[in-house]
Structure 1
Amino acid sequence: MVDWTWAQMRDCRFDVDRVPELLERVETRNDPEAWKELGWRLVLEHDVVSPASFAALPRLVRLAPHSAQARGLAGQILERAAGPHGCDDLPANCTGAIAEFREVLDRHLRSRPADYLVSFRALLAVEEQYHWANTLEGFTDGILHVDCPHCGVGVTIAIGCFGCYAQVRDGGEEIRRELRPAVGEQLVGTGRWMHQITVRDGQEVLTGGIAHLFGKAECPCCAGVFNVADEYASANRPVMR
């Protein structure tokens, strides 16, 4: 029988009875099929979450120290906390679970796990850095698209194993300029925090990518210099509720 507190906690499939049963199955038996169904009931395609997603969060966090599935699913829910989900009061009611999840993730990241990027993105969501939690990749072959704030031309920003550069196409010719990674005191705010965490945990690829992301680019057309992260965030950051 479903506890009365779940009576109005619809999941992403508009059911109110399945999530409590599935949570019981993953808590008691670590049931793989239950984890699979729980995933698409709590986080739907197109970044949709539901009241049941946040209602399930405290129980997922309790499992998170020893469960990659719980860490990943809790992180996906929090990455979408700034979006439209029809349950604005529920994230505020999860402050204790979110604080606990922050500690779990910090300990886990220090162990340099195989799922480092997934957990790092979850930590960004915990810190309410929703934009970077949703867009940060591993910087192996990353491509960003921004407009030069000086001349308005579209600039491709590449950050990956094949190079770190700004590029524009002029007719049939590709013109590139090397990015200027931020170092030392040039890194401030969120970029500095992200960089410090990845340095602490020995994540060289992520560290280098973050330094370039929060560094400078020179527009190959007009030679104007701009901050990559600022221009990308201003063009892509979702409107907060």
Structure 2
Amino acid sequence: MIDWARLQGVYGPAQDVPALLKAAGTGADDAWSELWAQLWHQGNTCEAGIAALPALASLAQHTDRAVRHPAIELAGEIVGAALREGRPLEGTEELQRPLALLSAAADGWLSERPADYRTSFRAKLALDGFPVLSDALDDFVDFCVEVRCPGCSDKVGIVIGDFGCYSSIRDWDLGDVHPIPLRPAVPDDLLGIARRLHHAAVRDDQPRLAWGLRHVFGGAECGACGAIFSPASALETRRAAGGGAVHRVPE
């Protein structure tokens, strides 16, 4: 039994959260607004947010779209924030089933092709353990991130979009120096979560997203040392210093 009064929300004790969760189950917009305010704020979460994940997983199974959608979206933001903050979610036994239910619910929601598909896909990424990619994801028109090469630790720019798909060493004055084409993954070679995410994009008629994911989960070459690495894996190692578990993406 959770003692909510002893848990901290964003702005103080979380004793009101159970009542808000119950009201949110009726689709009440004001309850959802208050839950967002108490459990997540500007990319950060709290112990009450993590404690609310099992309840949000239950709400994510609701037949009413007005309940299911905000439950998935809020849970995605909470999980993403918690992983970036280094909170131990993935190894927590009592959260394994709720997280699995939330991931499945997000996949089901995506299969309905919601109008805000990209926002919902970002929630799916966070729930599947890719919170940094979730934050960085755009429409792959001008996707540009900087990662550390796992071989030499130099900074490597990763560009995916209308300006090209390449890795480069970035210079303040010269721009992208010695761009090297990315090596997009062959869909049949993708494994595990990467394969399922790509499959969802193809299934839901999101060709640009599927194309971008092939590059994110493919290979990049470091112009400094020649190491080949997965951009997605390198991107997620940003949160390793905080103690959070990191998915190792097959290369």
After TM superposition, the score normalised by the length of structure 1 is: 0.76
Contact 2:128 2:193 in 1 (8 A): no
Bigger shift: residues 165-174 or 112-121: 165-174
- Match of residue 200, structure 2, among 192, 197, 200: 197
Instruction: Tell me if 1:37 matches 2:34.
Output: yes
Once the two structures are superposed, the pairs formed by residues 140-151 of structure 1 within 5 Å of their partners are 140-148=141-149
1:18-167 to 2 correspondence within 5 Å?
Answer: 18-28=16-26, 30-50=27-47, 52-64=48-60, 65=62, 66-67=65-66, 68-82=69-83, 83=85, 92-148=93-149, 153-167=154-168
Query: Match of 1:93, SS?
Result: helix
Closer, same or farther: CA 21–184 of 1 in aligned 2, 3 Å: closer
* 2:182 corresponds to which of 155, 172, 179: 179
Cα 1:213–1:127 change in 2 (3 A) is: closer
Identity across matched positions, percent: 34
Residue 59 of structure 2 aligns to a residue whose secondary structure is helix
Deviation sequence 1:121-142 (CA, Å, 0-9, x none): 3334444445544554442321
Please give the alpha-carbon distance, in whole angstroms, between the structure 1 residues aligned to 2:191 and 2:89.
31
Structure of greater Rg: 1
Matched, 1:226 2:223: no
Give, in whole Å, the separation in 1 of the partners of 2:222 and 2:95.
Answer: 44
Query: Offset of 1:164 from its aligned partner?
Result: 1.6
Q: 1:186 to 1:26 in 2, by over 3 A?
A: closer
CA contact (8 A) 1:146 1:231 kept: yes
Distance 2:98 2:223 in 1: 47
* Relative contact order higher in (CA < 8 Å, ≥ 6 apart): 2
The number of aligned residues is 235
Measured after TM superposition, the shift of residue 232 of structure 1 is: 3.2
Q: Unpaired runs of 5+ in structure 2?
A: 246-251
What whole-Å deviation, never above 9, does each CA across 1:50-74 have from its counterpart, x for those lacking one? Answer: 2x22333333334334132222112
Aligned to 1:217: 220
- Please state how far the C-alpha of 1:47 moved relative to its aligned partner: 2.0
**Given the superposition, is the C-alpha separation of residues 98 and 150 from structure 1 closer, same or farther in structure 2, using an over 3 Å criterion?**
closer
Q: Which runs of 5+ in 1 are unaligned?
A: none
User: Which whole-Å CA distance do the structure 2 matches of 1:95 and 1:152 have between them?
Assistant: 33
* Shift of residue 165, structure 1, vs aligned partner: 2.0
Give the 3-state SS of the residue equivalent to 2:23 in structure 1: helix
- Contact 1:149/1:231 (<8 A) preserved: yes
Q: Deviations over 1:69-93 (max 9, x none)?
A: 22211221222343456x9799643
TM-score, normalised relative to structure 2: 0.74
8 A contact 1:54–1:90 mirrored in 2: no
Q: AA paired with 2:71? A: A
Does the CA-based 8 Å contact 1:55-1:90 persist in structure 2? no
